[in-house]
Structure 1
Amino acid sequence: MLRSIDPATQYQETRRDPLRVLVVGAGVAGVTTARLLRHHGLHPVLIERSATGGAEGYMLALMPMVTPVFEELDLWPEYRKNGIPFGRYRLCAHTGRAVRTDSMGELLADYGDYRGISRGGLLDVLSGADCPVSPGTTVAALTEAGDAVTVRFDPGEDAVEYEFDLVVVADGIGSATRELVGAGPVGGLNTGWGGWVAWAPADDEQDLGEELWGAGFFLGSYPVLDRIGVFLGGPDAVTADGPERFVAEVQRRLHAPTARTRRALRAVLDADDPYYWPMRDVRASRWVTRHTVLLGDAAAGFLPTAGIGAGMAMESAWVLSRLLRHADRANLATLLEAYEGVQRPRVEAAQDNSRSLAKMMFRSGTAFAVGRDVAARLLSIRTVLKPIRQLLDGRPDPDAAARRALSRTA
């Protein structure tokens, strides 16, 4: 669990480390990084801008690229207890009728577990029994000199300054710290869509994820422990009127909805102030400087369309932490460049896949939806998952990357 502690107390521990590390953001990427670095003997300072630890947010389907994290931290028992197997995927036509159901478990079995878990549940697993964090704390200023980086915290009271060797910027897609680093321009894709996250009661198909690719709307429902996560989205101009009107319009267009679809729409209506998720992403043009690195959504914030963003953030945290096992203050910049060289192409390939799926999913025309329904019957799920399987087949070897990078500077 995350344990609140003030930044000064955290910093006292890190001062004796061979690398003094600050991790900004206690989300999936930041907590994974902090736990892995502690496992390797460091004492990173972990800060979080939210005073309460942040909202649970949404549901996740974790692809097997997270396997190295759970293996290294020995978290498999907790992960399996807090997540459930995601065995089947059902796709529905734009009218609501089920088109096909495929076995995801069989297709990904060679790579490891594929599980559904809530964001809050995942953070509970990753943080473990004791993960120190300073909530309500942000980076107010950051000055990078030749041999270190000076950071001024703003914990809500008196601002204080500390010196670090490395700052890991993992404070999300809207990262404020990213702007202080000077890592270059930031681009992104705004689909012009957004939608609500809600929670429905568990049903008798808790191994099933279901998606309905509509004409002007998208509805997805995904199993997590003891409930089902729901996302209902559409064009910003339409969702701006609120969920009641939008649900009514979706219901009007459905001729043969599944039982899961009906329950999912009811969950959106019943939700008290549901979380609204804008369908946009972010891509930073540069990830590292001599003493800073962007990680997770701060480097490349994903659309949720491929269900791979959280998995790639965890993989990135693992790659970075393994490279840092070879680091000292003299070679840190070399290893950070190696990290970007190894991981950025993988992350951006996964992000491109999410963008491609968004172009297929977030469409309004009925004619296009009809053609898409026909294609869905013909395309195999193995073909659709090919980009993800390629990523899993080409898992990185950060220790080998570190040796190559350091040999070039020897």
Structure 2
Amino acid sequence: MLTATPLSVQIDAQHDDRLRVLIAGAGIAGLTLAALLRRQGLHPVLIERMPQMAHPGYMLALMPMVDAAFDEIGCHDDYVARSTPIATYAARSHRGRLMRSDDFSALLAMHGEYRGIDRGALLEVLTSDGCPVAFGTTIEAVAQMGNTTDVRFATDESPTEASFDLVVVAEGLNSRTRELLDTGEVSRVDTGWGGWVSWVDPAGVTDLGEEVWGDGFFLGAYPVRGRLGVFLGGSNHDTAVGLPEFAERVRAAAPEMGERLRAVLDGVVASPDPYYWALTDVRAERWVTPGAVLLGDAAAGFLPTAGIGAGMAIESAWTLGRMLRDTDRSTLQPVLEEWERVQKPRVESAQDNSRMLARLMFRRGRLIAWMRETITRMLTVRAVLGPIARLVAAQPDPDAAAQRARVPAP
């Protein structure tokens, strides 16, 4: 679990480390990297801007690209126990009629399982061995000084300044620290859509992910352990009427959605505290600057359309952590640059796939809905998610990449 720990205590603990690492952001990517580095005997300093871990949470679908990280951390069994398989995917028309049902387990059978887990449970899995963190702390300034990076913190604690060999910015989509680094252009895609995330009791089959792609709305239900995570959304203009009225519009527009999804819709409306999620993404031009890197959503924040963003964040943390395993201060910068060269194209390829699906899904108009459904009937899920499956099948070799970086060119 996360344990509130003063900055001074964390900084003192890394005094004799071969690499002094600061991780900004106690989200999925930051906690994965912190756990990996602790396994190597390092003591990364971890800070989090929130005064406590109070994120409302949402559902995550993780492909088997995460298995290597969980195996190395030693939490894979706990992950399996806290998650559930997503074996089948069902797509429904704008009227709610079942168009197709696909076997996800067959698609990924050679590589592992596609599993659903809620964010809170995943954070607990990643911190099961304990994890110190300084809450209510952010980075105010960063300066590269020789071979070290000087950081000034915005904090009520002492000290307010410290030096590190590496600063890892894993603060998420709207990272403020990213603006302090020379990461080039930061581009965004704003779909103009958003929606409510909530939890409902499972109804019927518990390993089924189900979606209705409507005319100006989207309803998805995804299994996690013991419940369903639900997203109900539409254009920002349409959702402005509020959840109850928007849900009634969806119910009227998709009368053939079936008993399970009608129950899901009732559960969303009855939810005491649904979380509204604006559907945007972000992509930084550069991930690596002298003495600092962007990680996870701070580097490339995903739309939820391909169910791949969290998995890529975990994989990126794993490849970075693995490449740092035998790295010291003298070889750090070339190793970071090689990590970016290997990992960034993979992440951006997955993000491109997510953006392509968003262009297909987040549209309105009866003709567009009909065309989308025609495409959906023609294409198999293997064809749509084929690029993602190929990424899973061809994970990089971080050990070989680190070795290349540490050996000077002749």
Indicate if the aligned counterparts of 2:216 and 2:234 stay in contact, CA closer than 8 A: yes
Question: Which residue of the partner structure matches residue 260 of structure 1?
Answer: 260
Distance 2:241 2:158 in 1: 42
- 1:157: how far off? 5.2
Indicate if the aligned counterparts of 1:152 and 1:159 stay in contact, CA closer than 8 A: no
Question: Which residue of the partner structure matches residue 233 of structure 1?
Answer: 233
Matched, 1:65 2:65: yes
Distance 2:88 2:364 in 1: 27
Q: Which moved more, 1:336-345 or 1:158-167?
A: 158-167
Q: Which moved more, 1:301-310 or 1:75-84?
A: 75-84
Give the residue type in structure 2 aligned to 1:290: P
Q: Give runs of aligned pairs for residues 118-129 of structure 1, distance below 5 A.
A: 118-129=118-129
2:89 alignment partner, SS class: strand
Distance 1:17 1:309 in 2: 31
Aligned residue pairs, count: 410
Q: Give runs of aligned pairs for residues 194-343 of structure 1, distance below 5 A.
A: 194-343=194-343
Matched, 1:354 2:351: no
Indicate if the aligned counterparts of 2:7 and 2:157 stay in contact, CA closer than 8 A: no
Matched, 1:94 2:94: yes
Distance 1:18 1:405 in 2: 18
Q: Which moved more, 1:293-302 or 1:323-332?
A: 323-332
Per-residue CA deviation, residues 184-217 of structure 1 (Å, 9 max, x unaligned), is 2211111110111011102231100001111101
1:206 alignment partner, SS class: coil
Give the residue type in structure 1 aligned to 2:122: L
Indicate if the aligned counterparts of 1:2 and 1:132 stay in contact, CA closer than 8 A: yes
Indicate if the aligned counterparts of 2:8 and 2:159 stay in contact, CA closer than 8 A: no
Distance 2:184 2:21 in 1: 22
Give the residue type in structure 1 aligned to 2:225: L
Indicate if the aligned counterparts of 2:203 and 2:263 stay in contact, CA closer than 8 A: no
Which sections of structure 2, spanning at least 5 residues, go unmatched? none
Q: Give runs of aligned pairs for residues 147-162 of structure 1, distance below 5 A.
A: 147-156=147-156, 160-162=160-162
Question: Which residue of the partner structure matches residue 36 of structure 1?
Answer: 36
Distance 1:175 1:400 in 2: 31
2:61 alignment partner, SS class: strand
Indicate if the aligned counterparts of 1:290 and 1:336 stay in contact, CA closer than 8 A: no
Indicate if the aligned counterparts of 2:94 and 2:213 stay in contact, CA closer than 8 A: yes
2:161 alignment partner, SS class: strand
- 1:351: how far off? 0.3
Q: Which moved more, 1:174-183 or 1:316-325?
A: 174-183
Indicate if the aligned counterparts of 1:90 and 1:98 stay in contact, CA closer than 8 A: yes
2:221 alignment partner, SS class: strand
Percent identity over paired residues: 52
Matched, 1:380 2:385: no
Distance 2:371 2:43 in 1: 55
Distance 1:407 1:5 in 2: 38
Question: Which residue of the partner structure matches residue 138 of structure 1?
Answer: 138
Question: Which residue of the partner structure matches residue 74 of structure 1?
Answer: 74
2:289 alignment partner, SS class: coil
**TM-score for the superposition, normalised by structure 1:** 0.98
Indicate if the aligned counterparts of 1:153 and 1:160 stay in contact, CA closer than 8 A: yes
Q: RMSD value over aligned CA atoms?
A: 1.2
Distance 1:217 1:178 in 2: 33
Give the residue type in structure 2 aligned to 1:188: R
2:205 alignment partner, SS class: coil
2:67 alignment partner, SS class: helix
Question: Which residue of the partner structure matches residue 114 of structure 1?
Answer: 114
Distance 1:54 1:340 in 2: 31
Distance 2:27 2:56 in 1: 10
Distance 1:256 1:203 in 2: 17
Matched, 1:190 2:193: no
Question: Which residue of the partner structure matches residue 103 of structure 2?
Answer: 103
Distance 1:346 1:144 in 2: 28
Distance 2:134 2:171 in 1: 13
- 1:267: how far off? 2.0
Give the residue type in structure 2 aligned to 1:263: A
1:189 alignment partner, SS class: strand
Per-residue CA deviation, residues 117-136 of structure 1 (Å, 9 max, x unaligned), is 00001111011131111111
Distance 2:117 2:172 in 1: 19
Question: Which residue of the partner structure matches residue 55 of structure 1?
Answer: 55
- 1:158: how far off? 5.8
Indicate if the aligned counterparts of 1:29 and 1:295 stay in contact, CA closer than 8 A: yes
- 1:336: how far off? 0.7
- 1:409: how far off? 4.4
Question: Which residue of the partner structure matches residue 392 of structure 1?
Answer: 392
Distance 1:17 1:314 in 2: 24
Q: Which moved more, 1:96-105 or 1:294-303?
A: 96-105
Give the residue type in structure 1 aligned to 2:298: A
1:17 alignment partner, SS class: coil
- 1:113: how far off? 1.8
Per-residue CA deviation, residues 127-161 of structure 1 (Å, 9 max, x unaligned), is 11311111111111111122111111122456610
Indicate if the aligned counterparts of 1:148 and 1:165 stay in contact, CA closer than 8 A: yes
Distance 1:295 1:240 in 2: 33
- 1:250: how far off? 1.1
Distance 1:196 1:156 in 2: 35
- 1:390: how far off? 1.2
Distance 2:139 2:264 in 1: 40
Give the residue type in structure 1 aligned to 2:29: A
Question: Which residue of the partner structure matches residue 408 of structure 1?
Answer: 408
Distance 2:354 2:30 in 1: 22
1:357 alignment partner, SS class: helix
